[in-house]
Structure formats: C-alpha cells, structure tokens
Amino acid sequence: MTHNITEKNNKRSADPRGSGGASRSVNVPERGLQVERAKKISHQLADQTAKKQAETEARRKYHKAWQEYYQKYYEHYYLRQLSEQKQDLVRSGEPKTELSERQQAISELKKDLLKKISEGAGKVKKSPHFRPILSGVIAMVLFVFVQYNQLFSAAVQGFVSPSEDSTSLIIADGTNQPVGKNPTVLIPKISVKAPIIFNLKDLTESTAQSALEKGVINFPVSGATARPGQNGNTVLLGHSSSDIFNGGQYKFIFVQLNRLTQDDLFYIDYNKVRYTYQVTDKKTITPKELGQLNLGDGSPYATLVTCDPPGTTLKRLLVTGRQINPDPKKAAKQDNPTEATTKDIPGNPPTLFEKLFQ
C-alpha cells in the first residue's frame, strides 16, 4: 500500500497540469500572440513614419526644384534685358558717359525751370494786381457754387436714401392690411416714403414749388386727372434736387427715381386703401410735352415725374406703373378735377441768386 501511495505522488508531481499547471499552459500562447501584435503595430508605425518622411522629402525636393527653376529663369531674363540695352547703346553710338551727361542736363533744366517759376510767382504776389485778381477768382468760385450747388448736392444725394425713415421700407402687399388716412407714396427699392398733396388751389409755378417743400404733389393735366383707384393716369410730381439754401425736407425725394426698372413695384396709400403699381414704362421728355401724361381712361395708372438729370431742369423723367392691386377691373371712372394751367411741368425751385434778383 505504501508503494502505491508513493507512485501516485510521483505521478502527481510529474503531471504539469497539477497545482495550476493548466492556467500556465494557456497563458504562454496568449502572451506570444500579444508580443506578435505589438511587433506588428510597431512595424506599421515605423512604415507610416517612413512614408511621411519620404513624402515630406519629396515635397521639399519639388519646391526646391521650382525655386531653382524660377531663380535661373529670372537671372536669364534680367541678363538678356541688360544685354539688349547694351546692344541698343552700341547701335545708337551713344556711350554710357554721354547718357549720364544727358540726364545731368535734364536735371539742370528742371532746376532752372522751377527757379524761374518760383521767381515769377514771387513777382506776381508782389504785383499790385495780384490781390484783386485772386479776389475775383474766389468770388467767381463762390458764385458758381451758390448758383449751381444743386448739381454737386444731387450727385452726393444720389448715394443717400431720401426716405424720412432710416430703415428700408418693407411692404406687405395686399388689400387687408391697415393703411393710414394720409395720402402717401412708397417706393421700397429706393427707400422713399413721402406724403402726397392733393387739391392744390392752383397749379402755378410758385404754388407748386411751395407745396413740393412738404412732399410730392398731384399734378393733374388734360387727360390725366385720375385719382388712385380710378381709370386713367394719376400724376405725382417730386424734386430730384434743389438748392441747398432752400427749405423743405423733400427736395431730393426722387433723386434715385431713375433706378426703377421694368416690373418694379411702388405703392400709393389713398382713402385708407393701398394701391399697388407695377412699372411698365420709363422715359424722358421735355418740360412742354404734357401730352405724354395722357394715357387714356381704359386702365388705372400712376406716373412719377421728376427732373432729369438730377440737378438740372433740362428734361423730365417719367416712370409709369399699371395698377395690379386691388383688382384694376373694379376701378372707378376718372374724375375731372382742376387741370394744370401751366404749359410746362415744374422743375427745380429758383436758386438763392435768382430769388435775390427776381
């Protein structure tokens, strides 16, 4: 029996799976796999690093090659230009010394000329006629500015919104929106919002100019006496420029009217209704062509009128729109209010000098 126990103990000690031998036989292969993976990752990182280094070196060589190319190109270019200049000098038979002498002669000539101009200016200043002439020139400049300043102011105002509001107009088209009781013209494209004066007691030049300081005026002429919502043409007249010494906040209200083009929209608020007009025509006429405003009484129209070019009274710009809202088929018959008795379409108000010497 003792012999059997001894054999069993010997077998147990010889068995590698005894006393945790099984776990050791499993962990050895796994550790080997981990080592292999680590080597593989290390090789991949090394390959990537080598690849990046190779790409960087290739880019560096590429840029260096282009730099060398441009350097050699410009060296050859400037050398060729220098060679051509030398050949030109040889062909003309003028050595470099003669060229420098010519430059020196030109420099001396310039100095002499500047000296003579300076001496002449000094003599003019000392002359008893200098101050009167200078005063006359200054007076002439001031006269031109005062008399024709509307040309300069119109050019400046052409880049400034003439609206009474600092923000751009946003119009929600439709007939159900609330509209004020005061007649108003609105042109979103050029940020215009101005009151309209109807029913002037007369349409003479002085009455029209006085009313234009307060807004835009209705200017009914023969065949064009309609009001908004009526068949025929509603004529609205406004300034594009004026003398800076004249009063009123609407003297540049239509300075940008020539920006309107086909299909642009403008609006007229009248009797608590907003009428929408779509531009159909744009043209310039002479101040005496009043017949151009007669569009008949078949459909409702509105025409915006101002001086053109801004700052002058040579022509009149007409921008005509057809009513598209409310339904133009429901427009009323044209009334026959007082027509303009003048033969001309009013222009800019008189300048300061014109007022003084009228």
Q: What are residue 325's phi and psi, to 5 degrees?
A: -160, 130
Q: State residue 295's pLDDT score.
A: 93
Domains observed in the chain: 164-348 (2.40.260.10)
Q: State residue 173's pLDDT score.
A: 52
Q: State residue 132's pLDDT score.
A: 73
Q: State residue 287's pLDDT score.
A: 92
Give the amino acid at 127: S
Burial 117-155 (b: 16+ CB within 10 A, else e): eeeeeeeeeeeeeeeeeeeeeeeeeeeeeeeebbeebbe
Q: State residue 99's pLDDT score.
A: 52
196 and 218 in contact (C-beta within 8 Å)?
yes
Q: State residue 240's pLDDT score.
A: 86
216 and 197 in contact (C-beta within 8 Å)?
yes
Return d(Cα 181, Cα 16) in angstroms, integer. 110
Q: State residue 164's pLDDT score.
A: 45
SS3 281: strand
Give the amino acid at 130: F
Q: State residue 167's pLDDT score.
A: 43
Q: State residue 314's pLDDT score.
A: 87
Helix ranges, 93-181 (H): 96-126, 130-157
Q: Which of 111, 348, 331, 355 is nearest to 252 (CA)?
A: 348
pLDDT per position as a tens digit, 134-156: 677 777 766 665 555 565 565 55
pLDDT per position as a tens digit, 114-139: 887 777 777 666 777 666 776 777 77
Q: In terms of C-beta density within 10 A (0-12 exposed, 13-18 middle, 19 or more buried), how is residue 228 classed?
A: buried
Q: Please name every residue paired with 223 in a beta bridge, in sequence order, or none if there are none.
A: none
Return d(Cα 221, Cα 216) in angstroms, integer. 16
Return d(Cα 268, Cα 274) in angstroms, integer. 6
DSSP 213-276: TTSEEE--BTTB---TTBSEEEEEE--S---TTS--S-TTTTTTGGG--TT-EEEEEETTEEEE
Q: State residue 226's pLDDT score.
A: 93
Q: In this structure, are strands 232-237 and 300-308 parallel, antiparallel, or unpaired? A: parallel
Residues in the chain, pLDDT under 50: 1-3, 5-6, 8-11, 13-26, 96-97, 163-168, 174, 353
Q: State residue 278's pLDDT score.
A: 97
Signed CA dihedral, 51, 52, 54, 59: sign only: positive
First CA to last CA distance, the chain? 155
Q: In terms of C-beta density within 10 A (0-12 exposed, 13-18 middle, 19 or more buried), how is residue 328 classed?
A: middle
Q: State residue 120's pLDDT score.
A: 73
